[in-house]
A and B are shown apart, each in its own frame.
Chain A
């Protein structure tokens, strides 16, 4: 039951976001962070919340939600949140921090082939931009 409601929440949040009601999307999603979702769902929640806060121009809150999601990301050996945070850090000019995150992802060995190529490309682009 919980996942059905969570799926419905995500659909509703997407509907709100589609019409520019980002604050309402946040309102329906935030409570779920307290309700013991499995790690995968928490990474989806964190990623979506971070994106909604970015739409509102609130970078600090977006980074905070990425940070909240990182432990759930790591619990299931995924990099959705880590890559999201690294990308945001890079966009914010915090390139050393972004590169450190990419390097960590490469070192941890969880990336699939596409992920390895993606991260390597990111690091190469970042290095060329220095």
Chain B
């Protein structure tokens, strides 16, 4: 592939674009820009970043079911890293929804 960008640099650029689109309220376009990364051969850390981004896009679209699904998709990667960002995001969303599934 001719581009000098590594995959991580491409991901970084995609995330920056997604942030721009989210600021504009262009949530569907943000999802289109981010969703393909879920199938990319990324390390666990980058997988959690993708999961977090997609989950928050769905939150902004007021689609909590899909948001929770993406938090869940990322949790196994996050647990391997000993981090809790997704777990906290999931818990926060459940609290907003008036639910408590007890997942920490």
Most chain-A Cβ atoms within 10 A of its Cβ — which of B1, B2, B13, B14?
Answer: B2
- Report whether A28 and B17 are in contact in the complex, using a CB–CB cutoff of 8 Å: yes
Chain B residues near A (Cβ < 8 Å): 1-3, 5, 7, 10-11, 13-14, 17, 20, 29, 32-33, 35-37, 39-40
Give Cα A28–Cα B35 distance, bound, in whole angstroms: 11
Number of residue pairs A-B, CB distance < 8 angstroms: 53
Residues of A within 8 A of B11 (CB): 31
- Report whether B33 and A12 are in contact in the complex, using a CB–CB cutoff of 8 Å: yes
Give Cα A28–Cα B18 distance, bound, in whole angstroms: 10
Most chain-B Cβ atoms within 10 A of its Cβ — which of A9, A31, A65?
Answer: A31
Residues of B within 8 A of A106 (CB): none
Secondary structure dominating the interface of A: helix
Chain A residues near B (Cβ < 8 Å): 2, 5-6, 8-9, 11-12, 15, 24, 27-28, 30-35, 61, 64-65, 67-68
